[in-house]
Amino acid sequence: MTSPGVHPATPSTERTAIVAQRVRTPAPVRARPKAEAAAIAARPFLKWAGGKTQVAGEIVARSPRRIETYFEPFLGGGAIFFALAGDADLAPKHAVLNDVNRDLVTVYEVVRDELPKLLARLEALAEPYLAAALPERTRLYYEERERVPDDRVDLAARFLFLNKTCFNGLYRVNRRGEFNVPHGKYLHPRIVDEPALRAASAMLRGVAISCSDFADALAAAKQGDFVYVDPPFEPLSKTSSFTGYTEGAFDRHEQLRLKWLIDDLTDRNVSVMLSNSPAEWLVGIYEGTRFPDAASGAWRHYTIERTPARRAINSRGDRRGAIDELLVTNYAPELARGRLESASSSSASGKASAGTPKPPRGAGKTK
Ligand SMILES: C[S@@+](CC[C@H](N)C(=O)[O-])C[C@H]1O[C@@H](n2cnc3c(N)ncnc32)[C@H](O)[C@@H]1O
């Protein structure tokens, strides 16, 4: 059964169709030409599972127009940071970037602070690899994978080399925290992406980069700031998903802990956007929450939208495909992008309707 306005990828069970009807499928919003131009120079320098490059236009279009400090606590490849920072109109005054992956954070710090040394070291790894045939490339890959880096610059170069030459750009570690992704066998891997690294280094200047849990990274967020959260995807089925960026799994308890933090940020009038998979229970917990609107005091709900995206993180090519991206915001994104929507779609978006009684502050949470 397909409902009008439901994206074709929506699974066909009765229950899912009902959920999908409540979740808007927005008309794709084009990224502004300026953002597209800037994105050429400023783009992720890493391949990252769940990276948001392909939906960056949709996300940037829904971002607040004025951002005091931008927080991205699940940084990964940083697609949205680079898209925003490269947009002359939207670039935040300050940025706080964070990831729980210590090595990934070191890479960002080295790109920001020690780029010439990093480029030289990376070139030294890339040159013999690119000149070799497959058996020798495979040997060099596993030799590098087993090697313990000498220092921070070496760690960053090794991380980038493995990222560009491993299978699918995956990051996966075993119980001992050792990187264990097999060789990728690409013909022409772009190991030294110098333009992207130079642009990133410039954009990271003055940016705070930390390695902690997402909750600690957001402690200082306040009104006027924008928090974009992109946690590991909630699996749509038991077998479907990759969530193994780090040793610990990002399970339902973690998704709930994040939800409660978003509720808390909402109470503090911080603008938040979450992206995730459109897992039914996840949609349900955001739909089931209401909170007082900061300006009017009337009850409102999270705005829940879904936008088409392709997942590329299933190791089996035949299982990759079109799965919508869920976008949840605690503000009205159509106002952010200067497009007031019709009254009919506003009821579907779950905004507080006229005549809703004013709630007491802090009341009404479904946690
Ligand atoms: C879906 S990826 C982010 C992708 C990113 N938006 C991009 O465009 O590349 C999720 C990231 O969350 C990080 N992560 C997982 N658990 C975390 C936690 N508890 N606190 C902070 N970061 C965490 C992972 O290391 C991973 O880099």
Domain at 14-100+212-348, CATH class: alpha beta
Atom of ligand 1 nearest to the CA of 254: 19
- Residue 145's pLDDT is what? 97
Indicate whether residue 100 lines ligand 1 (CB < 6 A): yes
pLDDT in tens, 253-270: 999 999 999 999 999 999
User: Using alpha carbons only, what angle is made at residue 62 by residues 273 and 338, rounded to the nearest 5 degrees?
Assistant: 140
State the distance from the centre of ligand 1 to the C-alpha of 64, rounded, in angstroms.
22
Atom of ligand 1 nearest to the CA of 246: 25
Distance CA 145, CA 104 (A): 15
- Residue 336's pLDDT is what? 60
Predicted TM-score (pTM) of the model is: 0.81
Q: Which of 47, 49, 48, 70 is nearest to 59 (CA)?
A: 70
Confirm if 196 and 45 have CB atoms less than 8 A apart: yes
Q: With cut-offs at 50, 70 and 90, classify the pLDDT of residue 29.
A: very low
More confident residue, 353 or 313: 313
108-197 CATH, one of 1.10.1020.10, 3.30.1780.10, 3.40.605.10, 1.20.120.450: 1.10.1020.10
More confident residue, 361 or 283: 283
> Per-residue pLDDT for 95 more than 60?
yes
Indicate whether residue 74 lines ligand 1 (CB < 6 A): yes
Helix ranges (DSSP H) in the chain: 14-22, 33-41, 56-61, 79-85, 102-113, 115-131, 134-146, 152-165, 194-204, 214-217, 252-267, 280-287, 333-336, 343-348
Indicate whether residue 97 lines ligand 1 (CB < 6 A): no
Confirm if 327 and 307 have CB atoms less than 8 A apart: yes
Indicate whether residue 10 lines ligand 1 (CB < 6 A): no
Q: What is the mean pLDDT of residues 236-264?
A: 77
Q: Which of 237, 312, 254 is nearest to 49 (CA)?
A: 312
Distance CA 111, CA 92 (A): 20
Mutate which of 54, 75, 209, 233 for ligand 1 pocket (most atoms within 8 A of beta carbon): 75
Distance CA 252, CA 230 (A): 15
Q: What is the mean pLDDT of residues 334-358?
A: 40
Indicate whether residue 171 lines ligand 1 (CB < 6 A): no
Dihedral over Cα of 121, 123, 124, 129: its sign: positive
pLDDT in tens, 163-195: 999 999 999 999 888 999 999 989 999 999 999
- Residue 220's pLDDT is what? 97
Atom of ligand 1 nearest to the CA of 213: 20
State the distance from the centre of ligand 1 to the C-alpha of 74, rounded, in angstroms.
4
- Residue 249's pLDDT is what? 82
> Per-residue pLDDT for 33 more than 90?
no
Q: Mean pLDDT for the chain? A: 80
By alpha-carbon position, which residue is closest to atom 19 of ligand 1? 213
> Per-residue pLDDT for 140 more than 80?
yes
> Per-residue pLDDT for 349 more than 50?
no
Indicate whether residue 216 lines ligand 1 (CB < 6 A): no
State the distance from the centre of ligand 1 to the C-alpha of 275, rounded, in angstroms.
11
- Residue 358's pLDDT is what? 41
Mutate which of 98, 245, 311, 326 for ligand 1 pocket (most atoms within 8 A of beta carbon): 245
Q: What is the mean pLDDT of residues 41-50?
A: 88
State the distance from the centre of ligand 1 to the C-alpha of 214, rounded, in angstroms.
9
- Residue 9's pLDDT is what? 30
pLDDT in tens, 269-302: 999 999 999 999 999 999 999 999 888 889 999 9
Q: With cut-offs at 50, 70 and 90, classify the pLDDT of residue 310.
A: low
State the distance from the centre of ligand 1 to the C-alpha of 76, rounded, in angstroms.
5
By alpha-carbon position, which residue is closest to atom 24 of ligand 1? 245
Instruction: Please report, as a single letter, which amino acid is at residue 227.
Output: V
Per domain, the residue ranges of the chain are: 14-100+212-348, 108-197
> Per-residue pLDDT for 347 more than 60?
no
Q: With cut-offs at 50, 70 and 90, classify the pLDDT of residue 239.
A: low
Mutate which of 55, 72, 100, 250 for ligand 1 pocket (most atoms within 8 A of beta carbon): 100
Indicate whether residue 189 lines ligand 1 (CB < 6 A): no
State the distance from the centre of ligand 1 to the C-alpha of 243, rounded, in angstroms.
9
Structure tokens at 30: 């084009």
> Per-residue pLDDT for 233 more than 80?
yes
Q: What is the mean pLDDT of residues 86-95?
A: 92
Indicate whether residue 77 lines ligand 1 (CB < 6 A): yes
More confident residue, 249 or 132: 132
- Residue 66's pLDDT is what? 92
- Residue 134's pLDDT is what? 97
Tally of CB atoms within 10 A around 117: 16
Indicate whether residue 278 lines ligand 1 (CB < 6 A): no
Which residue is it, tokens 């991380």?
159
Q: Which of 105, 109, 60 is nearest to 85 (CA)?
A: 60
Q: Which residues face 322 on adjacent strands?
A: 310
User: Please, what's the b/e burial string for 80-98 (b: 16 or more CB within 10 A of its CB; e: otherwise)?
Assistant: bbbbbbbbeebebeebbbb
